Amino acid sequence: MTFDTTDTTDTTDTRGADRRRMAAQAARMAAWSARLAEDARRLSATHQTERRVSEAWALAEEARQIAEERQALAEELAGRQAAELARLETIIRHLPVGVVIAEAPGGRIMLSNAQTDRLWRGVFPAARDVAAYAGYGARRAADDQPYRAEEYPLVRALTCGEVVREEEMVIPRADGAMMTLLINAAPIRDPDGTIVAGVATLDDVTARREGERLREQFLATVSHELQTPLTAVWAGLGLLEVSAADRLSAGEAALLTNARRNAERLRAQIADLLAFNQLRAGILTLASAPLDLRAMVTDAFAAVHALLAQKGQRLEADLPVPLPVHGDARRLEQVLVNLLGNAHRHTPPGTRVAVSGRVAGDDILLTVRDDGPGIPPALAETIFERFAQAAGDEGGTGLGLTIARGLVELHGGALWVEGAPGPGDGAVFHLRLPRFRAGDGWRDDHKDD
């Protein structure tokens, strides 16, 4: 059998061509697919970009709105702060005391109110720095010494953080007249505690101090002028009481005794006035010598015995050992008389006034105790102020305790009172003086407690 090989070859060639065409078409399709995939990727990326851009715009819009809201809030807060600051400045400017505010640490004065100008009798000159404060020409009222620039209360507050309370200075006004100012100053701190400014208040006490000066001058003059004739009256009454005792009726004798007692009371009050003015002027001197304080207690008892007898009050003493001190006998007796007189006025009839003393190391301690209403703790210091008198106090000058403390301090000691925990517990005054030792010329065989 014979085969036709020509047809077979043609068929084979045709099939090969078809396969090539199909391969080419497959390649083209693969390329198209790749391009489509790339186009799809690019399209997807474009969509993502657009979404991101859209999201970014949305975020930007939100940020803009937040920024606008914050700006509006900041403007509102700034407005409130400005209003509060304006209100505060208005209050400061209309306060009845002078107010000066300076920045730290330079000392430039930022604000002074209208009252400061009125005190100054002109426009208050605002210092630009600490050194300029020296130009105010102020002097300390306590010792009449000029202030250095760094010593002014306001400067001390803003540079050192010192709180200055009730410091008096004398300063010339714009018209040259001198005025006395009562100064309070304090630092102003930020939340971190840093001093950012200082504030001072100025209160004009010129008229008050002048009134006090005139009153004290009047008291000194009257006391001095009355002392000599009153002493003569007192001595004459005493002489008459002794020389005419056998010729007076009981009523006349009682009248004479009462007159002499009242003269003695006036002498004591005048002595207090004189001592007070001498203490204030710093001219009171002591005639000191070694003495036993018990002798002063005995003399003081004798001076007040008649007064206490009128109210049926009894005196008690617990002084078992010598109480050696170095002091002025007359002035220490005056201290004790004032303390006993104070107890007499505030102790009900028929009660007691007790004095006790002891040695405690380098100190001599004396205690005066009564059965009166007592002194509230809040008034434990107030009662020593001049012209201070308790409710219902009669017959006193309001200077007795002030003078007593001043005389004790002049002796290097201290005088204080225990505040009564409750009404009716009585007052307890304590007096402490330096002990005078045997090596200083005192014979003391007593051992320390």
pLDDT in tens, 73-128: 888 887 887 787 778 777 777 788 899 999 998 989 988 888 888 888 877 888 88
Euclidean distance between CA atoms 261 and 62, whole angstroms: 97
- Among 27-41, 61-75, 343-357, 379-393, which is the least confidently predicted range? 27-41
Both structure tokens of 379 = 């008034």
Question: Residue 154, SS3?
Answer: helix
Q: What is the mean pLDDT of residues 387-399?
A: 61
Question: Which residues does residue 99 pair with via DSSP β-bridges, in sequence order?
Answer: 201
Question: Per-domain residue ranges for the chain?
Answer: 27-93, 98-204, 210-281, 289-440
User: What pairing do the DSSP bridges indicate for beta strands 139-140 and 164-172?
Assistant: antiparallel
> Which residues, including other chains, have CB under 8 Å from residue 147's CB and lie 6 or more apart?
133, 134, 136, 138, 139, 140, 169
Q: Does domain 289-440 have CATH number 3.30.565.10?
A: yes
Contact status, residue 405 vs residue 386, Cβ threshold 8 Å: no
Euclidean distance between CA atoms 133 and 405, whole angstroms: 38
Q: Which amino acid is at 57?
A: W
- Among 20-34, 118-132, 285-299, which is the least confidently predicted range? 20-34
Euclidean distance between CA atoms 350 and 55, whole angstroms: 99
Asked whether residue 35 carries a pLDDT value surpassing 90, the answer given is: no
CB hemisphere CA count around 170 (13 angstroms): 15
Q: Which amino acid is at 284?
A: L
> At the top level of CATH, which class does the domain 210-281 belong to?
mainly alpha
Both structure tokens of 159 = 């540079």
Q: What are phi and psi of 109, to 5 degrees?
A: -80, 120
**pTM exceeding the 0.75 threshold for the entire prediction:** no
Contact status, residue 434 vs residue 364, Cβ threshold 8 Å: yes
Query: Quick one: which of 214, 2, 185, 208 has its CA closest to 107?
Result: 185
**Between 3.40.440.10, 3.40.50.300, 3.30.450.20, 3.30.420.40, what CATH number should domain 98-204 receive?**
3.30.450.20
Euclidean distance between CA atoms 238 and 232, whole angstroms: 10
Question: Is the fold of 98-204 the same as that of 210-281?
Answer: no
